[in-house]
Structure 1
Amino acid sequence: MAFVSLAIIALVAFASPFIASAIPGKPVPETVFLLVLGAVLGPHMLGVIHVDAEVSLVSELGLAFLFLLAGFEIDPKSITGVEGRYGLATWVVTFGIAWLAVRFTPWFSVSHFDGIAVTLALTSTALGTLVPIMRERSLTGTRVGDSILAYGTWGELGPVLAMSVLLSARTGIQTLVILGLFAVVCVLLAVVPSRSKRVGSRFFAFVEERADTTSQTFVRLTVLILVTLVAFSAVFDLDIVLGSFAAGFVLRYIIPEGNHTLETKLDGLAYGFLIPVFFTVSGAKIDLTAVASRPGLLAGFIVALLIIRAVPILISMSICPATRDVSAYGRITVALYCTTALPIIVAVTSVAVNAGALSQDIASVMVAAGAITVFLMPLLAQLFYRVVDAAPVAAVAEVAEHPSDALDILRAHHDLASLLAREHELLTSHGHGRVFEGLPTLDTIAERLSAEAASGHIDARIVDAAHLLADKTYGDEVDPSELTPRERRRLERAKLAVREYRRRMLELYAREEAEDDDGK
């Protein structure tokens, strides 16, 4: 039956990209369809996917590779630098808020496994789940993407480490000793290959020489590091997420400059097979009947995630010196993305259910809430973008001043939002806005927009405004008194659109590039 289940999962994995792409604008990530189809086809509904020991093993390998790639994606500077320190402090604050929230909730007890599990679930970020979504949305390597990694890393690592201590049957001293041994193993696995690489030893030369042959030595070395750390985690009852995450850090230490060929191979193995199995099996474990019977708990948990996780991140980014200049939309995007929570919820609820401290029904609701955040939070970020683009406050003010033009004003604001949405899609489709040499200036933007206008991608009004702004002759060449109120408003919105266009391009650049060219 295991191969039958895997065949059905493979079909789900193959069909999900087609289904996601069939929806205009692709607002729903592929991951969501894997979860939903898994729930529908799983044992709680149609029962055509059976989660037996063999399928569970493949699923856990998928989870391991998911966090391996997530750990490898992270630049150590992003968690040890200024923003990383703010990310850690923010996670500590969210843990305290979550603890207080659970403390005053009658359904759970913070002194037992159930309350601790819920507390950790409310502080988590599904960073491993976010990485493929960020790649789909062209956020990887951008300034906003870097912030998601900085805050999301601690949202993943914090709960994992806390689980090892708070949800362990061992004493605190025993747990700390085991974590110390785990750290030693990680250091050995990182230092030995890295030192061999630096000194040019025959060992590393052999690994690189046979990396693209049938031996695939670099892939095998990666798998060895991953499985060794996961096995250590399993032997000492640590969560495999900790071992997988650590394996990603170790791999990054060995090849800090990255390795495109290796990354392509790992992506093919992980995203082509193992990771879709993990998400589909995670969906198959959700009891939709139990979820439907507790809608209040489902909605309450999602709202609690927004308040406890998203709000502190938003405040932290507003006061952090490295991110206070990021636009309000950028900060809200990071906060919403970091509120997605799934793998940690699956892990902590499994521990609590196995300990008899949490019912399977409540665990299903919590996992379902985590699955919903994977769909809901990126979608909310996208919708918020459209709302901001429409400038509703300015629209209300204009309607109040010119009530007879209310319909035209609302239509114009809607058109502006649609125009900016098309521009943003154009930017991300060109690879994070890197269509210029160096950071974009108004002059280069005007040139680029002229080319896009010729192909019909950009409204001509935006091009005109770009050239006028670039030449600093906006006020000289256009006499507002010669324009009707409606034309004046349209031209002002075009001017706003150009400035917004440049701001987005700057945020789509990596932070280092933006700092190097700050003030241009």
Structure 2
Amino acid sequence: MTSDLVSLAIIALTAAASPIVAKIIPNKLVPETVFLLIAGALLGPNMADVIGVTDAVGLLSDLGLAFLFLLAGYEIDPKSLTGAQGKRGLLTWAVSIALAFAFVFAAGLMRESELEAMAVAIALTTTALGTLMPIMKERGLMGTRVGESILAYGTWGELCPVLAMALLLSTRAEWQTALILVAFVAIAVIAAVVPAKAKKAGHRLFRFLSENADGTSQTMMRMVVVLLVGLVAVSAAFDLDIVLGAFAAGFVLRYIIPEGDHGLERKLEGTAYGFLIPVFFTVSGAKIDLMAVFAQPALLVGFIALLLLIRAVPIFVALSTAKGTRDISTHNRLAVALYCTTALPIIVAVTSVAVSAGAMPQETASVLVAAGACSVFLMPLLGTLTYRVADAKPIEAVREIAHNPHDIGGILREHWELERMLAREEALERLARRRAERGRTDAEGDVRGNAAADLNWQDRAALLQRRSARRRAIDEALDLAAQEMARHDLAADADPDGDGPRQAVGSPSLDERRRHIARLVVREHRRRLIERGRLVEQALRARENESAREDEADGRS
């Protein structure tokens, strides 16, 4: 008991310190999850041995894993599964699993151990959507086209490996596993339909739960815990992985409250991200044997390379060939593919099953889990670099520095400010979109009348700002600078209409004047755009606060 509490205290200290350390690194390039994994590996039984992976700590870790998948399932919009991108995501996963099995056959793993080969194949096709959710929220990806594509492709990368684990890694016959899955699905459907009908009918039990959702009773939170632990227990009783029960609980919860519940979501995130999920990641790191990883660096690098080849490449090809996503810029498509290659929780679950069955050595499992941990650090980092750094136009910055190396500081600062400006515009667009959706919902529900269905001028301004400024801000400013130069700084033998000078424009004085005028115009354009964005952002925030107060008043009444 004492050792369990000491281990838990050290894990709690690690969880408290990780976000502080992550904040020190600019732009949150390294997720705090990485620091939890590193701390677990260094303090775990294979290194310092101050964190013991006992049964009690393991149970809390399993609950953290369950909450991670509950929130992942809850965040998934059913439209992302059945829409055009969702269907393409399922097809892409099928291509990935086919490539994975082709690899394990070619490598001869099937001849050595069929169960180990299947575990490796499943691990190569997974997307750690539950791990990605907090990273996406931190980096402002939710609600963007990139974020929607990550959800569409990542959902199948999370769900399909869970089902593949149940079917392929079971020691039972396939027909028995299929029957058990059907029975589990039936239980999950009952758990979803009965409360949903009670809510729609206004049953007094559901009214009681809603009225006592706050305070000491916390009835809704307790019912969610019953749902989660109940389905996890059912999956364990059926000898299925607990991930399946937790994921199903998230789907059921979203079915019951499709409109969402901000109060309940805050409580779930507080319990999960505040306590249980950090325990899971730290314990996952504690299971990594760093000496075994250092002894097999080729396996580590090879597995990460296979993740990119088997998971990232098909997603990038699918995004590039689909009608709805081919217009997304190349670096954003690459960012989606990299984010969807993040893999850890399923790798932990798959290797645990293979090690328990004696089909995989613990040393190999440690390397695969370490590779999954590296993907949590590496893939979001590369995705951020392709998603945000490309917006800062680094190639153009290098060219400008090559022509004017003395102004390297100013050039880098201007390009960095451009990236921040574009990020602010995307945030404004998401805020306006949420406002518009809320207005439509209120109008359909006849809560506040038809007036709320129309966008106010601030929302329209934010949308117009986003459409007009994205990617064209610098080009338009440079065109304006060229016109100004043509009117005021023409050479002696320039064309009369000002279309361009007859003489070469390579003289230092003329080039310098062009750069100076262009720089002034760009700065003025950016200043006005940022000022307008701030005003719009303040107005939208004020409207959001006003709407929240009105919602509170409506709830009390």
TM range (shorter): 0.7 to 0.9
**CA displacement at 1:329 relative to structure 2:** 2.2
Change (3 A) 1:481 1:340: farther
Query: Which amino acid counterpart does residue 485 of structure 1 have in structure 2?
Result: D
Change (3 A) 1:397 1:61: closer
Alignment pair present for 1:423 and 2:425: no
The match for 1:325 is 327
The match for 2:314 is 312
**CA displacement at 1:35 relative to structure 2:** 0.6
CA deviation profile, 1:278-326 (whole Å, cap 9, x unmatched): 0110010001111011111111111111111111111111122222222
CA distance in 2, matches of 1:463, 1:384: 20
Alignment pair present for 1:482 and 2:489: yes
The match for 1:438 is 460
Change (3 A) 1:27 1:225: same
Among residues 230, 233, 236, which one is paired with 2:232 in the alignment? 230
Instruction: Show structure 2 runs of 5+ residues with no match.
Output: 434-457, 491-509, 534-557
SS in 1 for 2:184: helix
CA distance in 1, matches of 2:331, 2:78: 26
CA distance in 2, matches of 1:41, 1:428: 41
Query: Which amino acid counterpart does residue 379 of structure 1 have in structure 2?
Result: L
C-alpha contact (below 8 Å) 2:44/2:50 kept by paired residues: yes
C-alpha contact (below 8 Å) 2:15/2:278 kept by paired residues: yes
C-alpha contact (below 8 Å) 2:338/2:380 kept by paired residues: yes
CA deviation profile, 1:207-246 (whole Å, cap 9, x unmatched): 1111113221111111111111101110111111111111
Larger Rg over CA atoms:
2
The match for 2:554 is none
**CA displacement at 1:429 relative to structure 2:** 7.0
Instruction: Show structure 1 runs of 5+ residues with no match.
Output: 450-461, 506-520
Query: Which amino acid counterpart does residue 79 of structure 1 have in structure 2?
Result: L
Change (3 A) 1:214 1:199: same
CA distance in 1, matches of 2:41, 2:487: 59
Change (3 A) 1:487 1:91: farther
CA deviation profile, 1:57-98 (whole Å, cap 9, x unmatched): 000000000110111001100111111000000000011111
Of residues 206-215 and 70-79 in structure 1, the stretch that sits farther from structure 2 once superposed is 206-215
Aligned 1:275-424 pairs, distance under 5 A: 275-385=277-387, 388-389=390-391, 391=393, 405=403, 407=405, 414-424=412-422
C-alpha contact (below 8 Å) 2:303/2:371 kept by paired residues: yes
CA deviation profile, 1:21-44 (whole Å, cap 9, x unmatched): 112222111111111101111000
**CA displacement at 1:110 relative to structure 2:** 8.4
**CA displacement at 1:391 relative to structure 2:** 4.4
The match for 1:211 is 213
CA deviation profile, 1:133-165 (whole Å, cap 9, x unmatched): 111111123221111111111001111101111
CA distance in 2, matches of 1:411, 1:486: 17
Change (3 A) 1:215 1:386: closer
Instruction: Name the Cα RMSD after superposition.
Output: 3.2
Aligned 1:497-516 pairs, distance under 5 A: none
C-alpha contact (below 8 Å) 1:114/1:357 kept by paired residues: yes
Identical amino acids, percent of aligned pairs: 55
Aligned 1:77-96 pairs, distance under 5 A: 77-96=79-98
The match for 1:457 is none
CA distance in 1, matches of 2:243, 2:206: 28
CA distance in 2, matches of 1:416, 1:287: 45
Aligned 1:463-474 pairs, distance under 5 A: none
CA distance in 1, matches of 2:370, 2:362: 12
CA deviation profile, 1:45-66 (whole Å, cap 9, x unmatched): 0000000000000000000001
Change (3 A) 1:444 1:276: closer
Query: Which amino acid counterpart does residue 266 of structure 2 have in structure 1?
Result: T
Alignment pair present for 1:15 and 2:17: yes
Q: TM-score, structure 1 length as denominator? A: 0.84
Query: Which amino acid counterpart does residue 228 of structure 2 have in structure 1?
Result: L
CA deviation profile, 1:355-390 (whole Å, cap 9, x unmatched): 111111110000000001101111112223465346
C-alpha contact (below 8 Å) 2:344/2:372 kept by paired residues: yes
Among residues 113, 116, 119, which one is paired with 1:117 in the alignment? 119
C-alpha contact (below 8 Å) 1:13/1:276 kept by paired residues: yes
The match for 2:539 is none
C-alpha contact (below 8 Å) 1:339/1:373 kept by paired residues: yes
SS in 1 for 2:160: helix
The match for 1:454 is none
Q: TM-score, structure 2 length as denominator? A: 0.79
Change (3 A) 1:108 1:414: farther
Change (3 A) 1:420 1:480: farther
